[in-house]
Amino acid sequence: MTNTLPENLPGSAIARLTQAEGLVSILMPAHNLQDVIEANIRRVHAVFAGRVPFEILPIDDGSTDHTAARILHIARELPEVKPVILERNTGKGGALRHGFERASGAFLVFLDGDLDLPPDQIVSFFERLESTGSDIVIGSKMHPDSELDYPPLRRFISLTYFLFIKLAFGLPIHDTQTGLKLFRRKPLEYAFPRMLVKAFAFDLELLAIAHSRGFSIAEAPIRVEYHGDWGRIPVKAAKSVLIDTLAIFYRIHILRYYKSIPDVRLPDPPPLASIVIAYPAETDYLRQALAGIAAQTYPHYEVILLPDEPGGHPWPANIREIPTGRLRPAEKRNIGIREARGNIVAFLDDDAAPAPDWLDRALVYFTIPGVVAVGGPGVTPPDDPFLAQMSGLVYACPLVSGSARHRYEPERVLEVDDFPSCNLFVTTAALRQAGGFRTDYWPGEDTLLCLDLVHTHGGRILYEPRALVYHHRRKLFLPHLRQVGRYGFHRGLFARRFPRNSHRVAYWLPSLFVLGLTAGPALVVLHPWLRTTWLATVGAYLGLTFLYAFHRHLRTWLIVWLGIMATHLVYGVRFLQGFLSRLAPQTVQTFDHPSEPSSTGASPS
């Protein structure tokens, strides 16, 4: 194998391609490489300087040493070096995503910052790209012309992983993990907006997405200058790779997640978003929500806070506090709609903290004709108390949430006709056309708004799984079941009064189970067959819920199992009460302000 740098680089494939299509962007993720990063950047710079147009983007991935300072120092000397400094560690995938967002090249090279793979090999990758007409060229340790000292144990591990990848994904390559890759820009423009993995299986997810779209991939031999321990693979890393790999398989072949995401971009100019938060009084959760908003990667927004009483804070210029007095959430949100200056209103509960790309992920969909609203999942925060975590697991169980499971766990992009206002974006024009929220129902006012948006005015509501918020849960059992009871009563009431988006078979199943359970003792005395059937049905239910509650920790398993069954019983009883009720909730004058910190009176999800 020959990987030496051609003396006449201007006459090579890289020169021809860059002259025709544009410059090369070399992305170099680095973490804690203070001793070598400057020398490595100089080494890469020497390959291209004065020969072809290029830029080098060293990406400091939240290093705890002086790597960032060394990158900034050499950038002052070499104008082609464009530093990307990340405040916290995001993983290799996250670092490369940030680098790609700032790169301007028609060709993008991924090159690990430690330079175990010498940078002069990039030239031969362009030759391979030109000769094969491919969109992507990746280095392969398993290529017969590769030069490396590769112990038998690592060869066996790589071969085993290759066979699994080949069987599971059908990728026409042998090695997804080598840290030198060359891309045309379009495969990355397609893949990066769809990616979820940021660490161990990042390369596999990227290549699997690109391959599923039809982008072609070729392999090239590599030369490795490696001084570490080839034979050692941490057990934690191997476990993470396996879990991420199985998750990618699920998203591609079962969920069809990646293909569900349309190719959309933000409009130019980007719209102003008005984030409306209705709440009775300030809590720590509200401060978490505001911190999440402040960390947004999308800068064009304002915040409208709607407390009962003034909070007495000197808010920044883009935050307005409008005290409303003691009003229901729908009444507060209607005030927010009237005060909104943005083209899009983002409704957020005060106990829901958005992910940093929350606005970016949702707002792009408003470029699709007919889309008037976008919703995203409310994921249980990892720092919630134990019993609140158990509530989150119950809600995320398919036997509890059914077709609405996407509200609690990210799934695929969907079109829906009902979505909760804890994480809901709606165009200002559509809100004003619908007259805002109805104020005579709580909870359920968001269901009625969606009914107006879709069935009355013909709009579309999309669900975007990555526009997520971390929504605090009520604890099992009593706070959780009180919330479930409210859900059940209003869904039952709406099933009779507003059936177009509330009268569905799945909503009736818990009530049918309750009726069957109640009728069971009477049935068993009528006929032996009825007794056998009833006992078998109850046994099947217990077994099925037990399996769906599975968790590796026995205590969690048992608590979630009990939570699932209790949720079914309470929801089933309250749904029947709501369906048969003639008392409309607007006749109730008092307003429920739960005292627990995760239940602030905002409309539940």
DSSP 8-state secondary structure symbol assigned to residue 355:
P
> In this structure, what CATH number is given to the domain that contains residue 347?
3.90.550.10
Query: What pLDDT is attached to residue 235?
Result: 63
Query: What pLDDT is attached to residue 396?
Result: 94
Q: What are the Cα distances from residue 286, in Å, to 25, 277, 306, 354, 474? A: 41, 9, 12, 11, 16
Closest CA to 419 of 347, 342, 352, 485: 347
Any domain includes 593:
no
Any domain includes 491:
no
Q: Which of 260, 285, 319 is the last residue of a domain?
A: 260
> Is residue 472 located within the same domain as residue 509?
no
Number of folded domains that form the chain = 3
Query: What pLDDT is attached to residue 605?
Result: 36
> Is residue 253 located within the same domain as residue 388?
no
Any domain includes 3:
no
Query: What pLDDT is attached to residue 365?
Result: 93
Query: What pLDDT is attached to residue 236?
Result: 65
- For residue 508, the enclosing domain spans 496-587
Any domain includes 103:
yes
Is-cis flag, bond preceding 443, omega within 30? yes
pLDDT per position as a tens digit, 17-71: 988 999 999 999 999 999 999 999 999 999 999 889 999 999 999 999 999 999 9
Dist. CA 408–CA 465, nearest whole Å = 10
> Is residue 413 located within the same domain as residue 545?
no
92, 198 Cβ separation under 8 angstroms:
yes
**Ramachandran angles phi, psi of 352, nearest 5°:** -130, 115
Half-sphere exposure of 291 (CA within 13 A, CB side): 8
The whole-model pTM stands at 0.77
Any domain includes 363:
yes
Task: Please report, as a single letter, which amino acid is at residue 581.
Answer: S
Closest CA to 373 of 420, 332, 337, 427: 427
> Is residue 322 located within the same domain as residue 214?
no
Which parts of the chain sit beneath pLDDT 50?
A: 1-8, 227, 229-231, 586-605
Query: What pLDDT is attached to residue 5?
Result: 46
Any domain includes 18:
yes
Query: What pLDDT is attached to residue 196?
Result: 80
Any domain includes 605:
no
> Is residue 231 located within the same domain as residue 175?
yes
pLDDT per position as a tens digit, 103-149: 999 999 999 898 888 888 888 899 999 999 999 999 887 676 776 66
> Is residue 256 located within the same domain as residue 280?
no
> Is residue 255 located within the same domain as residue 329?
no
Neighbours of 497 (CB within 10 A): 17
> Is residue 452 located within the same domain as residue 538?
no
N- to C-terminal Cα separation, the chain: 60
Alpha helix positions (H), 312-463: 329-339, 358-363, 386-396, 398-401, 428-434, 445-451
Dist. CA 296–CA 356, nearest whole Å = 4
Q: What are the Cα distances from residue 51, in Å, to 27, 60, 77, 184, 277? A: 19, 27, 19, 20, 55
State both tokens at 227. 């001084």
Radius of gyration of the chain (CA): 28
DSSP 8-state secondary structure symbol assigned to residue 482:
H
Q: Which of 260, 288, 311 is the last residue of a domain?
A: 260
Any domain includes 278:
yes
> Is residue 237 located within the same domain as residue 129?
yes
> Is residue 215 located within the same domain as residue 335?
no
